[in-house]
Chain A
Amino acid sequence: MKTTNILIALALMSGSAFASNNIEWMPGSESDLVAGRLVSETAAIPASQHAESAPLSYTWAAGERSATEPAAQGVVVESRQYWVDVSARSLDTGVKLPISAPGAVVRISALDSGTRLQLDPGHLELSINGQSLDRSALEMSTGTEMRQEGMQVPQDSLAFRLPGDSEAGTLHLQMATGADEVPMVIHVHEPESPWVARMSTTRSTFLSDQSIEFDVLLDDGDRVFEVDQVRAMLVSPDADQMMDLSRQTNGKVLEGVVPVSAISAAPGLHEVHAYVEHNIGGATVKRDLKLAIGVAPASGRFSGDIDMLPALGLSLDLGVEVAIEGRYQVNAEIFGTNAEGEMEAMAFTQSAAVLEAGKNSIGIEIDAQMLLDSGLSAPFEVRHLQLLDQGRMFVLEHRDQALRIGPPARDIRGRSDEMIR
């Protein structure tokens, strides 16, 4: 203990600890999530579901796997599959499905549970481009079998895989179910197809009333296509709110906004559903895409105020401004400078507290022993700074690079102690 104290004292004397340094906000990046102002319509914000009331903090050393670069915030999903809604009656008469490659996997299911349909493989009739397929040569699986393995398809399901040498073209699927207007869904998955649709966005979290953009493209492995038809919709977690996404004139970008009034009290994420159809050389390629995003009202943000408290290690009070009472969490990664002059992860720290509406603060702390053990020195940086609402599962703010703690440097943009927004 005595040795430890001497080391800490030496660290302080050498000026390598935090106390002798300035602190300043760093320039933001495109992927940062920052509220310009807080919402005034707090009545639209759901009640907090938090159960814990005690303020808590927890910090641990970064370890050898920590990223030294900001985490990628962009999101991309891809698809080689599509779904078609049909009625049991239309299955009786037959349904045409575009197929772009051999070996497609097709699943027929009731859209709702408990329909007690009898999907008898013996009643399945298939042909591709007018050529009849021998169903006894197909691999098949029932809903019961798939559910037994944890694949939660409806009980009333039947899946089969087309042969590995089957043709691309039009699959005609006919099946007598004995039912009438029972809603059904057919899922076509083409794992061997070169045709892939992709939807991407800059990050996975957004604030209400902010414009949200998604790129949609289709490629066949060699060429990228601007697709003929795209329909897209943003669906709230409880499926109560559905918002159309408009297609911009450049053809590949979808755009929309979630108003505060559409923020859902239901837990879970918003989903973007996009339906892509493209015709090429007389053939049709269909793809469905789905991407989950978090949408939060601008109900909290870092105010820009920072207090560096007297301590042997790092002790910061971060100003937090919130529009509504709740339990708020701050995450931060602390980086320091190693012997080679490079930034290296030192610690991850998390604090949470129940806050009333208005201006508050949440403290983060790295003790002196952890600082000494890391062998890192100034300048330090706070990266991946997040403000989260625990009781509503909202991501309210995220900054890839947030704070710099060190001797004043001329090459740092922005002014000391001033929030850069």
Chain B
Amino acid sequence: MLRLAKATCLLVLLLTFGSVWSATGVAFVHGTGKQTDALNDYWTTSMVNSVRQGLSDSNNYVVINCDFEQYMWDAQAAGCLAGQLHTFINQRGINDLVVLTHSNGGNVMRWIMSNPTWDSRYPQIIDRLRWVNALAPSSLGTPLADAVMAGNVFEASLGWLLGYQNDAVRMQQTSWMAHYNSNWLLGTAGRPNLPKPFWNVVGSDVHAALWNSASYCGGYQYQVGLAVTQWWLNSCSDGFLECSSQNGAGSLWFYDHWVTQSGRKLSHHQSRRDCFGLDVILRNDL
């Protein structure tokens, strides 16, 4: 209801001051990983092309490519994201920016929104931002990161502490995110609001049965793997993140089955793909 009221207000403003408020743009922000072609490797062109049809000028979009294997505040992570968003809004005159993030991309965006004095580009990005639609954000971290970051400090060399994990995985351990949420990030329970809305889309299950058509959107092989990773998660999860983490900061927009076609649930892989009408929901939100 709140979201609808805000959208109505924006529509009224848009109709009233249309010539001033006309440049809406959308940015696609990927999750953990070092991307050089996120359009094809992370989102797929069918997802991006479908969503951007909701823009009055469908060229007002940018697909971010940064190194999100780093800590969120790193110059290659938040610095890179700020650089690409800053260039996008200035080159295309965007003054109404909608940012779509997936997974850890939500944390990097939330870093920018929480620490506007970190970098002189951040305030302008926040000023132009309408809101963030956070697809399965890892706001409270994931037990999977805890599970893989371990050995025994009394019994072995500590290579495992630093060796085969990147900083983004270390950062998404649950107690690490609790620290950053309490001290550096805003929008979680008991903390001040973010300067702009951060709307969560929560994926709540994984279907991985040969006879279930929901298992095939985005690739059956991914669904099988995500069903396995659910072993380390509680009953409401998308195979990578528990629902509580996905809705741990900002505000709930919707749980997958509330609005998707036939009430389908979105796995962590499917929440970045044009599965079960998600692309249309995001398109209609622009």
Contacts and interface: CB of A to CB of B under 8 A. Distances in A.
B131 interface: no
Contacts of B79: 51
Contact of A66 (B2, B145, B192, B269): B192
Q: Which secondary structure dominates chain A's binding surface?
A: strand
Interface in B77-102: 79
B169 interface: yes
B11 interface: no
Contacts of B126: 58
Contacts of B158: 235, 239
A19 interface: no
A235 B234 CA distance: 29
Interface residues of A, number: 81
B222 to A, nearest CB: 7
A113 B117 contact: no
Given A67-B191, A187-B150, A161 B231 contact: yes
Contacts of B165: 152
Which of A148, A185, A205, A395 lies at the interface centre, i.e. has the most chain B CB atoms within 10 A of its CB? A148
Contacts, number: 202
A154 interface: yes
B116 A58 contact: yes
A233 B153 contact: yes
A83 B145 CA distance: 14
A85 B151 contact: yes
B117 A350 contact: yes
Interface in B97-130: 115-120, 122-123, 126
B228 A149 contact: yes
Contacts of B155: 85
B254 interface: no
Interface string A204-215: 110000000000
Contact of A83 (B150, B164, B175): B150
A292 interface: yes
B252 to A, nearest CB: 12
B13 interface: no
A73 B225 contact: no
B37 interface: no
Contacts of B116: 56, 58, 350
A145 interface: yes
Interface in A169-204: 183, 185, 187, 189, 191, 203-204
Contact of A292 (B176, B184, B234, B251): B176
B259 interface: no
A112 B119 contact: no
A355 interface: no
A112 B163 contact: yes
A105 B232 contact: yes
A51 B119 contact: yes
A352 interface: yes
A275 B173 contact: no
Contact of A238 (B160, B162, B163, B191): B162
Interface string B210-225: 0000000000011011
A329 interface: yes
A159 interface: yes
B119 A52 contact: yes
A290 B191 contact: no
Nearest to A50: B118
B69 to A, nearest CB: 10
A273 B154 CA distance: 10
A166 to B, nearest CB: 14
B161 A239 contact: yes
Interface of A: 51-52, 54, 56-58, 60, 62-67, 69-73, 75, 77, 81, 83-85, 105, 107, 111-113, 139, 141, 145-146, 148-154, 159, 161, 183, 185, 187, 189, 191, 203-205, 231, 233, 235, 238-239, 242, 267-269, 273, 275, 288, 290-294, 329, 333, 345, 348, 350-352, 384, 386, 388, 390, 393, 395, 398
21 contacts: A58-B122, A58-B195, A60-B195, A62-B192, A63-B193, A65-B251, A66-B192, A146-B229, A149-B239, A152-B169, A153-B147, A185-B150, A203-B182, A204-B178, A205-B183, A268-B171, A288-B152, A292-B178, A294-B179, A348-B193, A393-B184
Given A51-B79, A185-B150, A233-B154, 5 more contacts: A73-B182, A85-B156, A205-B179, A239-B158, A293-B179
